[in-house]
Amino acid sequence: MRRTVQLILASTLAVTGIAACGEEPAFDPQKVAALAAKSKRGDGAAARVPYGQKAAEYVLTFAEEFDSFNPALWNDHIWYEKPNPTKNFTVEKGVLKIWPQRDATGKFFNRTLDTDGRFEQKYGYFEMEAKLPRGKGTWPAFWLFAHPGNRRPEIDIMEAYPGGVEPWGYTDDAGVSRPTAYGATVWLDEGVSAGTRQYDAGKDLSAKFHKYAAKWEPGRVTFYLDGKQTHMVEANMTDPMYIIVDLWFGSSSGEPDDSTPTGKGNSFEINYIRAWQFKNRALE
């Protein structure tokens, strides 16, 4: 799992004296709220409510509609790595696309886009509408994360492993792995899970767009697929977290190989990422 990798790298950062966290975020909440008032569809913020939730209970705080790629909002690599110069993501027709690609060394490489230092939030509802990629080794994910001091709290809203054994996915007639399930997990700290579920959607998640979401409240996190509750974890998560969307390789999905489709035609496609805060509700 990604936690093991982060622990090793975090330890390295600590030894070398590189600061990983603890500073105030550089983002301006008012500017983020202003961005949230805009939409590529012109439908207005009032129409963009959490799917399956009561609109009156929420206020929109973050709305990335992907009219374009905004480097002022998104980092193109996780904090302990340098960005790979090989191009494997873009925004086209209102959709973010991240695809499997080999770099100059001939190897598949991870791509992470996150709002670390740009946007973070404590509690609320977080939702992504996306279509997952195909192929052995692909590991798409949508999660919330923070790295205060030596702690690593994390909420994995969706991480899929198409190349894993059923019910993670299946192999089609062309020999390509397709995702049919995904994992949702709450991590109190590195390697300390508060609860997890492997949710079998019973459908090919690379065939069409679906909505993956989590409602984060004091004392619990509830997960949803297309507005349907799939899992609930009781956990006291109190650190503000930033948003991550990525396409990594390995773990339960296996290692990518020549059967793994590369290029834009096999993208992790993301239509939007949005966040809301609870309205008129006292939070700790």
Residue 15 predicted with pLDDT over 90: no
Quick one: what percent of the chain has pLDDT higher than 90? Answer: 81
Q: Please state the pTM of the whole predicted model.
A: 0.87
Q: How confident is the model at residue 1 (pLDDT cuts 50, 70, 90)?
A: very low
pLDDT tens per residue across span 224-258: 999 999 999 999 999 999 999 999 999 999 999 99
Closest-CA residue to 156 (of 120, 119, 197): 197
SS (H, E, C) the chain: CHHHHHHHHHHHHHHHCCCCCCCCCCCCHHHHHHHHCCCCCCCCHHHCCCCCCCHHHEEEEEEECCCCCCCCCCECCCCCCCCCCCCCEEEECCEEEECCCECCCCCECCEEEECCCCCCECCEEEEEEEECCCCCCEEEEEEEECCCCCCCCEEEEEECCCCCCCCCEEECCCCCEEECEEEEEEEEECCEEEEEEEEECCCCCCCCCEEEEEEEECCEEEEEECCEEEEEEECCCCCCEEEEEEEEECHHHCCCCCCCCCCHHHCEEEEEEEEEEECCCCCC
Name the residue with higher pLDDT: 224 or 30.
224
Label residue 100 left, alpha or beta by phi (over 0 means left) and psi (-120 to 50 means alpha). beta
Q: What is the pLDDT of residue 28?
A: 59
Residue 142 predicted with pLDDT over 50: yes
| Residues ≥6 apart with Cβ < 8 Å to 243 | 62, 114, 115, 119, 126, 143, 144, 273, 275
| Residues ≥6 apart with Cβ < 8 Å to 69 | 89, 90, 91, 96
Residue 38 predicted with pLDDT over 60: no
Residue 178 predicted with pLDDT over 70: yes
Mean pLDDT of 89-101: 98
